[in-house]
Every structure is written in C-alpha cells, then in structure tokens.
Chain A
Amino acid sequence: MNNEEPPIFTYSQPGKIGVNLPAAGVETTPLPTELLRQDDLAGFPELTEPEVIRHFTRISQRNYSIDTGFYPLGSCTMKYNPKLHEEAARLPGFAAAHPLQDEELSQGALQLMYELQTYLGEISGFDAVSLQPAAGAQGELTGILVFRAYHLDRGDTQRTEVLVPDSAHGTNPATAAMVGLKVIELKSDARGNVDLADLKAKLSPRTAGMMLTNPNTLGLFEEHIVEICRLVHEAGGLMYGDGANFNAILGIAKPGELGFDFMHYNLHKTFTTPHGGGGPGSGAVGCTAALAPYLPGPRVRRRDDGRYEFFTPEKSIGRMKAFHGNFGMLVRAWTYIRSMGATGLRAVSETAVLNANYVRVMLKDIYPQAIDRICMHEVVLRGQIAGAPKDVRTLDIAKRLIDYGFHPPTIYFPLIVPEALMIEPTETESKQTLDHFIATMRRIAAEAVETPEVLHAAPTKAPVRRLDEVRAARQPILRYDAAAIARLQSE
C-alpha cells in the first residue's frame, strides 16, 4: 500500500494502444480538414492494457475503503455495499438500455422505478416521489425550487427567506442561495434542538420554508419536531427535510407523518448505493400531495392496463438533469429494499442507533459528548481530552486513528461544536470492530496526555504523511505538468 505510483503519463511511449478496435470497414469519406483539431491530442498518454490495469490497481491500493476497514464517517453512512447490488445493476437490461428507447421496450426499468417510488414514499410517509435528482444537494435544490413554485403559484410573492439551523450542512444554505433566497440562520438550544424562541422570532410572512435535518447533525432527534412543523406551517412556510440521516429512522418514524412537506433521500447513504470515491449518488425526493404537481419530471406511473409510463407533473419546475436520474443507483436501492423488507429495515435503524449509543457510552467519559443525550445513528463528541496539552486537537486524534488502521470520523462538523468528532458506526459493523475502535480511541486519549508528539506526527503508517495543503492552494498544479512537478520535488 505504501508504494508510490507515478502519474500515468510517465509510462507513455509513442505508438502504444490499450484497446483492440475494428476497422471501419466501409468506403472512406474524406474528413473536413478545416474542422480537424490542430494539436494531434498533445499530452494524451499511450499505454497498453496491462500497463493501464497495473497502474490503476496500484493506485487503488493507496485508498481506504469500506471493504478494507471501519469507516465511521459521520453524516455519510458508510455502511457495507452488498455485492449482489453490483451484479444487479450490471444486468444487460439495466446497464445496456438506452434512456430514450420506447417505453414499451423499457417496461422492466419503468416497473423498477415505479416500485422504488412507491417504497420510498411508504418508508417516509410521502405521497409522491421523484427519482430524478443525482445527489442530496440536488434533491435540496429540487425541494427549494418546488417551495418557490408553490408559493408563487398561490400568488404569494413575498416569501424570500429560508430558515436554516446553525448546525446544518453547508449544502442547505448554499442551496437556498442558488434559488435566490435569503438564508436566515437559527440558533440551537442547550439540548441540541432548534431554539424555539429564535424560530418564533424569525418566522414571518417572508418565510418560504425551513430546512431541517432530523435526526440533526448532532446525531439527536429533534425533540420539538411536531411543534416546529406546526409553527412553520402556521407562518405559511413549508418544511424541508434533509434526509442525510434517514438511516436512523427506518420503521421508527415517517418524516411525512411528523409534518415535513418534502425531503430528499440519499440513496448513497441510507440505501447503501456505493459512494464511489465521491459519487455517483442519488438524491431522490418525496413530498406531500400538495407539492406533487411541482415535482420534476419524468416520474413513472402505472396505467390502468398495468403498463408503466413516464409523465411530467402539470406544474413541474422542470428537469433537474438529462434523462431519468442515476438509474444504476435506483437498481441498487430497489434491490436493497427488497432484500431487507420492512422488518429488515427497522433492524437496520435499530442496530445503527444501538451501535452509535454503544460507542457513545464507552467513550464519553474521555471525549465529552457535545450534548449529553441518547443519540441516534451517530454521536458527536469533542476531541478535548482532560490533561492533554492544548495543542492536541481533533485533527491530531483523527490522524492518529489512521495509524491504527481506522478511517477517522467526520471532524469539525457540525460547526457549532468545538473540536467535533462525529462518529457514525452504521449497522454493518460487529461488536468486535466497535470494541476495537473504542479501545483504540481510549489508547489515543492516553497518548494525548503521555506522548502528544506522537499524535502531532501522525499518521506515519499511511501511504503519505500530513500534506502541505497551503502549497497546494498557493501554487496550484491542477493537471499533469512534468516541469511543475519536478520543481515541486526539488524544492
């Protein structure tokens, strides 16, 4: 794992090729010479297939992954990705079907989408689902555009503000801004809930809606959720649910029943479609009947004759992307729900919450819990170890975990918790793994007091050690440039 692997471009030799292509096999039409590119693809590498495979295999080994270890990255739900799903998505009727082929030729895909819409609606208590958004953030954009369209459609043109708690993920305020709305930040109270007094003070006829993650980013279930929804509705606003933390409440509570009007699911979290080193995801969305006419199309419906068809809702905000969503992710999520069933899904959330609380009680005597409450699927601790020097920070604890073979938790989020360590074990980890992680965290706390320099130096066992991130940003090298890299190396 520690072998350095040079950039692929350094292997290039003129004349090599890594594919075996057919001859055109037809009479030749002259190329329009005035339209040809002038540079003959300068900078493109030339390699054979074995060289390409070895290169990418070697760099893959310089990566941490769920398949190789515990990945308690809070807010990201890094659970096991079943191998069956990978086979399912690669079946030819899914992997090699054209998105615009006739609906009559796509009935299997449409049925799967229709069923997934139905299942997600049932699990969350919503009337309508659109599978189109490609990720959570795009689901948020969809929802806030729908809120805007709904208000405008009712002639309600003054609603230009979106309330967002100070604990929210950055995509929430960024989304509201993309829709041209003003972000109004809400305070959290001492129990980690939305501060009701602050909420009341900030609700107004300008409120388009509120964006709330529940369980919230402190890993806590919002204790006043029903009242919050009621207050926002009374003010004429709508409730957006950020479903990033849905893994805590499958079969435990339905956001639609709690009072939310709209939510996104991160199929790449809760429904275990793989994260792919950054994507693709799927940010499917669900909503109430009142908002359904504004959803993006196409959605799928079942005709009276039992066939399936696409349709676009009458007052749709429009398309969010080309075609029908990240379909390959939909196949995986459908497969997951069908293999878990209702009992299995509830067991998922129960176990995810059990695991998080177990980690919580085993660590909070050394790593203070941000808010001392029973948590949901994740727990937020503070990397403030009694007796350790002040300069031992959460970052050091995280980097030291790497030396012990673990992926660090999410750090410094939510922003309202100093030195935050956000730990989400998920339900697919065994007690042995959790115990090993807990013991390691306790050992690191002891090191922080006794040998803090070890933490500052960590990691020493990873493929590389701590990086000069300032250099990366000040003198950016954003594409392969042999001279720039040589300069960097000679500095």
Chain B
Amino acid sequence: MTHYIPITDADRREMLKAIGVEQIEDLFIDVPESHRFPPLNLPPALSEPELMAELNRLSELNAHARRYSIFLGAGAYNHFVPAAVDQILRRGEFYTAYTPYQPEISQGTLQAIFEYQSLICALTGMEIANASHYDGATALAESAIMALNVVRNRRKIVVARGVNPQYRAVLRTYLQGLDVEIVGDETPGASIADALAHVDEQTALLIVQNPDFLGRLHDLRGLGAQVQARGALLAIHFDPIALGLFQTPAEAGADIATGEGQPLGLGLAFGGPYLGIFTTRQKYVHKIAGRIVGVTKDVDGRMAYVLTLRAREQDIRRERATSNICTNQGLMALASAVYMSLMGKRGMRMVAEITYQRAHYAAKRIASLPGYRVLADQPFFREFVVQCPRPVAEINAALRAQGIIGGYDLSADEPQLGNAMLIAVTEMNSPAEIDRLVAALAEV
C-alpha cells in the first residue's frame, strides 16, 4: 500500500478470493514467464518532504523570470499572468476531468471550450475555431494538411521565410510521408512577396507569419484575394497579443489562421504545455481537425454544450479522419479563456500597447549606443533585430552576469544579419529594467 493506493492487505485477500486465485502473481499468467516481473532499476522512493526538497534544488538550478530580467522571446514570451488564471486552473473539477465525452456531466469543460472558441473568433475575426492543437507549430502543420484536403490535387506548400524556423521544421516533419513539396523559405532574408511569387497552380497553401519571426508587422490586406485568385489558400500565423491592436488575419483575407496561445496567460514553463490555436472559415468546418464544441438543447429544452461534428475525428473515421489528434491542450485553452475574459476589450489593447511602447523605447535607446544598430526600417511589435559589435553569445554571457537573459542569437537562422540578436520586450520589462539592459549593453 502507498499513500495513493487505498487497498489494504485484508481487502486484497478478500478480492483475490472472490476472483478465485491465490496470489496476485496468478493474475499475470498470460505474461510469458521468462519476461515476467523484471527488476526495475530505479532510485529509491522518496517521501514527500524529501521529494519537495529535491524538486526545489532542481528548480533553483534554473534561471527564471523571478530572478532574471528576460529579453528573450523567439516564440515564447514573458507576458503578465494574472493570479486569477491559476486559481481557476487549480480547480480539481477542471484539471482532473477527461475529454468531455459524457456531456451531461461535463458542461463545465464544454462551456469553457465554447467560450474559448468564441473569444478566439472575436480576437482573430475568423469564423470558427477548434478546441486546440498541441502548440502553435503543430497547429500550423495541421493547416497544411487541411489545405491539402481542401484544395484537391495540389501538392505544394509555400511557406515564407518569416515563419518561426522551429515551426517550419515541424511542418517538414509532419509532411515528410505525404509526397508534398515545401518551398519559399530557402533564401535568407526572403520576403512575403518572394514567397507569394512561388504560389502557382500546383500550390495548395501559402503560410505567412505576422508579426514575423523577426518581430516585423506586415500590411497583409489583399493578400488573401491574391492567393485565392491562384486557387490556393492563405494561412496566417498570428500573435494573439499583437491582435489587441493590429490587423487581424480575417482582415487580410486568411482562409486559415493559427497562433501560439502561450502569451495568453500560460507562462513560460520551459516550453510547454502551450496552446495551438486553429481557426478557419465556416465553410471548411468538415475539414478541420480536432474537437469542436457546439450548442444544443437537452430533452427538457435547456441550453447545453456538446462535442459536435465528430464524424471528422479519428475514433469514428479512423484512417479517413482529418487528423490523428485526440488529447489536445484543453486546460491551456481554459487558461487563455480566463485570461482573455479578465483582460477584456480594454485589457487586450493595453497589453499590446504597453508592449509596443516599451519595445520601441528599448529599440530607440539601443539604437543610440555606439556599435549597435537596430533594424527598424519596418514597423515592429514586440521584437526587433539588433546588430551587435560582438558575437551574440559573448554579449549574452556578459548580460547573464548582471542577471539579464539577453535576446535570441540569430546567427544560425539568419547568418546574413551578422552578429544579430532578436530582443523581445513585454509589459513585464519595466522602464528601469530596460535602462539596465541598455547600460549593460553599453558596457560589453
């Protein structure tokens, strides 16, 4: 017996007797004898206080946002998480429930997902959203699979260079068995116009990111129409915080819009669990992957929520399903719904505005430092590229000594930019913190 196993020795004896076997080992006679009961070489079990001490020790070996100023982004952002979000996540009624297969006793989860879908539609301007994918990268990869199913007999996906390089890698992993050509992102520095030039009568989908991986904001109005005129679909990977202020994927005419929901109240969490946001047009509702919640009534006429349009999913459609996804990121969708509800119209706008203003303040200050150059020929949102007088790794090592986690080193992804660092600034970086970063950069 352990503190998680409530069967006593007496219970066990009684139960074995009822089953009609003498000892517990007899329940495993179907396991080949030579392979039965292998020893497990694991460290000895620890008590709860010992374990908490060890966990604390490991935790403190890591840098984290409560001890360091973080100017690193590149797909994971240190945005403010209101205390109220975690209080809701900690409710056992939510986090210890399964996927809502029995709607009569899962109305809480179902309503939360429905409200999440609704909030995401309002945020993006798109018509429908699903209940989530694993993260932004896999949501983006699934957009390609959906496009291949919508636009029949076209086997080419065009992806712009400005899409997060990790996402482009995931896209290639997902499609490697499907005899699909992925082009458009080979050339360093290639623009969205360059990618658009690749869209031809073989193309099923163009994928762009806005703001792009380097933080630049693009005016994409009319892009959807241009792509659709060539018979292809447009997918835009958006940033949910930027949408507090800036152009929506719907305004650009996107057929599919995906996003990474991490900035919506999820925290950094060393990379996960995050939230893959997936939206599209109503007319593609039967092509979308994953779970969707809809509204209906019960036999007494009461409004109720339910998983719907299930005939797309793997448990019913098997090898003809739109995707193999089953478990998603439900609790993270709930977190983001609580976050968006707390923020509301004004809060979403304010977070975007503080982020924008502080990022521009930081950029201006850094641009005035001798030896540094900020690439700001285009509007940007939260991240910007700084060309540095020395290799980024050296600069970041110096910053670290001052309790600062510097920006993302672009030398591997965009070598043509030289010693380039991608700096991210959010509402969590106070003006004083930004001044400290600037002073530290001046010294290195």
A42 to B248, CA, bound (A): 12
Q: List residues of B (128-183) whose CB comes within 8 Å of A's CBs.
A: 128-129, 131-132, 134-138, 145, 164, 166-167, 169-170, 172-174, 176-179
**A60→B27 contact, CB < 8 A:** no
Q: In the complex, which of the residues B48, B299, B345 has the most CB atoms of chain A within 10 Å of its own CB atom?
A: B345
**A17→B354 contact, CB < 8 A:** no
Tell me the count of chain A residues lying within 8 A, CB to CB, of chain B.
Answer: 212
Q: List residues of A (59-113) whose CB comes within 8 Å of B's CBs.
A: 59-68, 71, 73, 76, 78-82, 84, 86-102, 105-109, 111-112
**B331→A279 contact, CB < 8 A:** yes
| Smallest beta-carbon distance A411→chain B, Å | 9
Taking CB as reference atom, which chain B residue is nearest A318?
A: B173
Asked if B321 is at the interface of the complex by the 8 Å CB criterion, the answer is yes
With beta carbons under 8 angstroms apart, the residue of B31, B217, B320, B329 that contacts A280 is B329
**A100→B319 contact, CB < 8 A:** no
Taking CB as reference atom, which chain B residue is nearest A342?
A: B40
Taking CB as reference atom, which chain A residue is nearest B350?
A: A21
| Smallest beta-carbon distance B108→chain A, Å | 3
Taking CB as reference atom, which chain B residue is nearest A430?
A: B6
B346: chain A residues at CB < 8 Å are 15, 17, 46
| Smallest beta-carbon distance A176→chain B, Å | 7
Taking CB as reference atom, which chain B residue is nearest A258?
A: B35
B61: chain A residues at CB < 8 Å are 93, 107-109, 111
With known contacts A17-B344, A98-B78, A64–B323 Cβ distance under 8 A: no
**B347→A328 contact, CB < 8 A:** no
**B297→A471 contact, CB < 8 A:** yes
Q: Which of A220-228, A232-240, A285-293, A385-393 contacts B (4 or more CB under 8 A)?
A: A220-228
**A428→B4 contact, CB < 8 A:** yes
Asked if B324 is at the interface of the complex by the 8 Å CB criterion, the answer is yes
With beta carbons under 8 angstroms apart, the residue of A60, A281, A464 that contacts B298 is A464
B99-112: CB near A (< 8 Å → 1, else 0) gives 11111111111011
Asked if A27 is at the interface of the complex by the 8 Å CB criterion, the answer is yes
**A97→B64 contact, CB < 8 A:** yes
A313 to B176, CA, bound (A): 17
A73: chain B residues at CB < 8 Å are 98, 101
Asked if B421 is at the interface of the complex by the 8 Å CB criterion, the answer is no
With known contacts A252-B28, A252-B36, A278-B98, A29–B291 Cβ distance under 8 A: no
Asked if B219 is at the interface of the complex by the 8 Å CB criterion, the answer is yes
Tell me the count of chain B residues lying within 8 A, CB to CB, of chain A.
Answer: 210
Taking CB as reference atom, which chain B residue is nearest A491?
A: B297
A427 to B1, CA, bound (A): 10
A12 to B30, CA, bound (A): 60
With known contacts A88-B55, A280-B332, A348-B5, A63–B323 Cβ distance under 8 A: no
| Smallest beta-carbon distance B444→chain A, Å | 16
Asked if A340 is at the interface of the complex by the 8 Å CB criterion, the answer is yes
**A174→B18 contact, CB < 8 A:** no
A491: chain B residues at CB < 8 Å are 297
| Smallest beta-carbon distance A133→chain B, Å | 8
**B98→A357 contact, CB < 8 A:** no
Asked if B377 is at the interface of the complex by the 8 Å CB criterion, the answer is no
With known contacts A226-B32, A279-B331, A64–B302 Cβ distance under 8 A: no
**A485→B327 contact, CB < 8 A:** no
With known contacts A134-B135, A467-B306, A105–B63 Cβ distance under 8 A: yes
**A428→B111 contact, CB < 8 A:** no
| Smallest beta-carbon distance B269→chain A, Å | 5
A342 to B104, CA, bound (A): 40
Asked if A34 is at the interface of the complex by the 8 Å CB criterion, the answer is yes
Asked if B22 is at the interface of the complex by the 8 Å CB criterion, the answer is no
Asked if A344 is at the interface of the complex by the 8 Å CB criterion, the answer is yes
A93: chain B residues at CB < 8 Å are 58-64
Asked if B342 is at the interface of the complex by the 8 Å CB criterion, the answer is yes
With beta carbons under 8 angstroms apart, the residue of B82, B97, B251, B309 that contacts A64 is B97
Q: List residues of A (321-347) whose CB comes within 8 Å of B's CBs.
A: 321-329, 331, 335, 337-347
Asked if B197 is at the interface of the complex by the 8 Å CB criterion, the answer is no
A119 to B45, CA, bound (A): 13
| Smallest beta-carbon distance B398→chain A, Å | 12
With known contacts A37-B251, A279-B331, A169–B315 Cβ distance under 8 A: yes
**A472→B96 contact, CB < 8 A:** no
| Smallest beta-carbon distance B283→chain A, Å | 12
B179: chain A residues at CB < 8 Å are 180
With known contacts A98-B70, A480-B115, A277–B331 Cβ distance under 8 A: yes
Taking CB as reference atom, which chain A residue is nearest B353?
A: A24
Asked if A296 is at the interface of the complex by the 8 Å CB criterion, the answer is yes
**A339→B100 contact, CB < 8 A:** no
Q: Which of A135-143, A196-204, A447-455 contacts B (4 or more CB under 8 A)?
A: A135-143
Q: List residues of B (325-356) whose CB comes within 8 Å of A's CBs.
A: 325-334, 338, 340-351, 353-354, 356
A-B interface, 4 closest residue pairs, ranked by CB to CB distance from nearest: A323-B271, A278-B330, A341-B45, A276-B331
Could you show 14 A-B contacts with beta carbons less than 8 Å apart? A18-B342, A43-B118, A44-B340, A44-B348, A60-B91, A65-B95, A93-B61, A105-B63, A178-B324, A258-B32, A278-B291, A325-B272, A358-B18, A468-B299
Known: A97-B268, A134-B329. 13 other contacts (CB 8 A): A24-B358, A25-B431, A37-B125, A44-B340, A63-B94, A98-B268, A173-B314, A223-B30, A321-B134, A339-B46, A354-B7, A466-B298, A478-B128
